[in-house]
Structure 1
Amino acid sequence: MLTQRQGDILKLIIQHYTTTGQPVGSKTLMENGISASSATIRNEMKRLEEEGLLSKTHFSSGRVPSMQGYRYYVDHLLQPAQVLPTEIQTIRQAFGQEFHEINEIIQESADILSSLTSYTALSLGPDVSERKLTSFKIIPLNHRQIIAIIVTDKGNVENQVFTLPPNIHSDDLQKMVNMINDRLVGQPLITVYQRLRTEIPMILHKYFQTTEGILDLFNHLLGHLFEEKIYVGGRMNLINFGAMQDKGQFESIYSFMKNSDELTQLLAPRHSMIQIKIGAELGNELLDNMSLIQANYEIHGHGKGTIALLGPANMPYSKMFGLMDVFSQELAMKLADYYRALDSTGE
């Protein structure tokens, strides 16, 4: 562990550097409250450098934080900054609009957070395990194509254009849809998923020669509902603050930001409220100079969700930590209000 003075020096250097982007020298530290001589401060900075917490630049006698220094600061010295009332008002106004589907709120949360910070925001909605099927509809587009729509009690809507196999006729299709609605509406999705593989095919085979087409369609739609969808706000901001060395690195970052699976893998398990991963902890060489702040929230009866912020390693952690704490609370309240409205209309 560091001494009190060493901790104060490291904290001040990180706060100054994340605000100005400039290396910090002993004079700046003296001016900002370190009560020691210039020589003593330089000696302390040298010890912090030897511990791997600071680095010396080639351009000045000042120091900058290392990834290890950021980690120590986050674990031992970080004090969340108070969020400005204007920022809270901006968040509440953005969430105050009318939403027609739960995923609209999740997407909007990523857009709002990205706009507030100029970083890249990632948002995952609450768990899907408790969702129930409320409606399965099919709308003909032409004699061979349909659009199938699945709706859940949590406000999730999944739709897919599907080309009918030649052996399925429109009259048969409607009979299948009616049967599925009669037997499966109101059931949890996991139950629907299981019964579509066991009971329903046996029943349908009593009436139709083939059921493969409609069951494939339903399985495909349900598969999308079971997937955890990650919504991204400010995707291209990552390119703006990432140190792009060449065209190849630019293309790699761009490809990465389009890959939902890779983005989801960045996130830590939803155990604690706020988690921070720095540099190599992100597990991707493209992000070695970046950090991720992840805030988790829980909505009673509806599972856990996550909102995360991906930005440069020299982000102002104190400010971002405070913002993420408030933002996740505002998002959870908005989602809870939406779920209560759904429950009241279903009564």
Structure 2
Amino acid sequence: MITKRQQDILRLIIQSYTENEIPVGSKKLMESGIEASSATIRNEMKALEEFGLLTKTHSSSGRVPSIEGYRYYINHLLEPMTSSKGDVEQIRRGLNREFHEINDVIQYAATVLSKLTNYTALSVGPNLTDRMLTGFRIVPLNNRQIVAIIVTDKGNVESQVYTIPATFQSTDVEKIVQIINDRMVNESLWTVYQRLRTEIPMTMSRYFQTTDGILDFFEHVLGKAFEERVYVGGRMNLLDYETTLDSRAIKSMYSFMKNSEQLTKLFSSREGDIQIRVGDEIGVKMLHNMSLIQANYSIKDHGLGTIALLGPTSMPYSKMYGLLDTFSKELSQKLIGYYQELE
């Protein structure tokens, strides 16, 4: 257990380092209000270093926080800042536009947050499993390609381009549309999901001599409706604070940030309001020098959504915590208003 003075020193070092990323020495700490001699402060910093909470960049430098130091600070010393009126107004201006479907709101939220912070922002909308499938249609693009359009009762619209197998007849597509409209429209997405794996395969065998390619079509077109889509804003901001990456690492990072399935795994828990994970706690090796701040918000009768910031471990946690808390509340209000317009 570290002392009160050691806590104050750790807090001031982290606050200073996250503002300017300059190692902090005893003189700076005295100027910041630590009432002790330089020698005493250096001894306290040495003790914090032995605890694993601070580290030195080289022998004559001041100290910088370690991953363990950030974790201690987040758990015991973090005091969220209240967002300024300017930040609140900027968030509201950013979200104050006309949206044509719910996914547009979720996607644009990530863009607004990334511009506001200069970090990478991740956004996930409310759960889809309680939605109803209210519309399904197919639009031909050419002789081999179609666009399948799925609409839910809460404004979600999903479109998928699909290349028709050579074995398909023109009448096969018409039969598929009829089956979906007869058996799935006005059913919950969860019911549709279950039927895709139980009832539909048997139904297909009655309509088609062979189901080769048919079930793949259903999985491709309707299966996408159940995927949790993660929208990313400021994807390339990651490269601004990961300057040691080589070309291969940059490609891996870029591929990771475009993979919605992998990004979904970043959100390990939807419990609680705001969570902060540091370094290896994120669970992705290439993100071991980063931190993830995640805010969950609830929309009555529509489920949970998540907005998050991915940035360096040296991000200003107090400010970002307060900003993300404000942003999640403003986004929640925007979504509530959108849903009310649909009713």
The normalised TM-score by structure 2 is 0.92
CA offsets, 1:59-95, max 9 Å, x none?
6441111111110000000000111111111111111
Q: Closer, same or farther in 2 for the Cα pair 1:154/1:59, shift >3 Å?
A: farther
What CA distance in whole angstroms lies between the structure 2 residues aligned with 1:259 and 1:195?
27
Matched, 1:267 2:267: yes
Q: How far is the alpha carbon of 1:219 from its aligned partner?
A: 2.9
SS in 2 for 1:99: coil
Match of 1:190 in 2: 190
Q: How far is the alpha carbon of 1:176 from its aligned partner?
A: 4.4
Q: How far is the alpha carbon of 1:212 from its aligned partner?
A: 5.7
What CA distance in whole angstroms lies between the structure 2 residues aligned with 1:205 and 1:58?
71
Unaligned residue ranges in structure 2 (runs of 5+): none
Q: Closer, same or farther in 2 for the Cα pair 1:224/1:23, shift >3 Å?
A: same
What CA distance in whole angstroms lies between the structure 1 residues aligned with 2:201 and 2:278?
50
Q: How far is the alpha carbon of 1:143 from its aligned partner?
A: 4.4
Match of 1:286 in 2: 286
Match of 2:24 in 1: 24
Given that 1:122 and 1:230 are in contact with CA atoms closer than 8 Å, whether structure 2 keeps it comes out as yes
Q: How far is the alpha carbon of 1:264 from its aligned partner?
A: 2.3
What CA distance in whole angstroms lies between the structure 1 residues aligned with 2:185 and 2:154?
13
Match of 1:2 in 2: 2
Unaligned residue ranges in structure 1 (runs of 5+): none
Alignment RMSD (CA, Å)? 2.2
Q: Closer, same or farther in 2 for the Cα pair 1:178/1:87, shift >3 Å?
A: same
Given that 1:279 and 1:287 are in contact with CA atoms closer than 8 Å, whether structure 2 keeps it comes out as yes
Match of 1:72 in 2: 72
Match of 1:239 in 2: 239
Match of 1:307 in 2: 307
Q: How far is the alpha carbon of 1:309 from its aligned partner?
A: 0.7
Q: How far is the alpha carbon of 1:148 from its aligned partner?
A: 1.6
What CA distance in whole angstroms lies between the structure 1 residues aligned with 2:228 and 2:200?
26
Q: How far is the alpha carbon of 1:242 from its aligned partner?
A: 0.8
Match of 1:253 in 2: 253
Q: How far is the alpha carbon of 1:213 from its aligned partner?
A: 5.3
Q: How far is the alpha carbon of 1:109 from its aligned partner?
A: 1.1
Q: Closer, same or farther in 2 for the Cα pair 1:71/1:198, shift >3 Å?
A: closer
The one-letter code of the counterpart of 1:284 is V
Q: Closer, same or farther in 2 for the Cα pair 1:48/1:163, shift >3 Å?
A: closer
Match of 1:335 in 2: 335
Given that 2:144 and 2:164 are in contact with CA atoms closer than 8 Å, whether structure 1 keeps it comes out as yes
The one-letter code of the counterpart of 1:340 is Q
Given that 1:244 and 1:250 are in contact with CA atoms closer than 8 Å, whether structure 2 keeps it comes out as no
SS in 2 for 1:266: coil
Given that 2:162 and 2:221 are in contact with CA atoms closer than 8 Å, whether structure 1 keeps it comes out as no
Percent identity, aligned pairs only, is 62
The normalised TM-score by structure 1 is 0.91
The one-letter code of the counterpart of 1:5 is R
What CA distance in whole angstroms lies between the structure 1 residues aligned with 2:67 and 2:207?
65
Q: Closer, same or farther in 2 for the Cα pair 1:30/1:167, shift >3 Å?
A: closer
SS in 1 for 2:160: strand
Matched, 1:42 2:42: yes
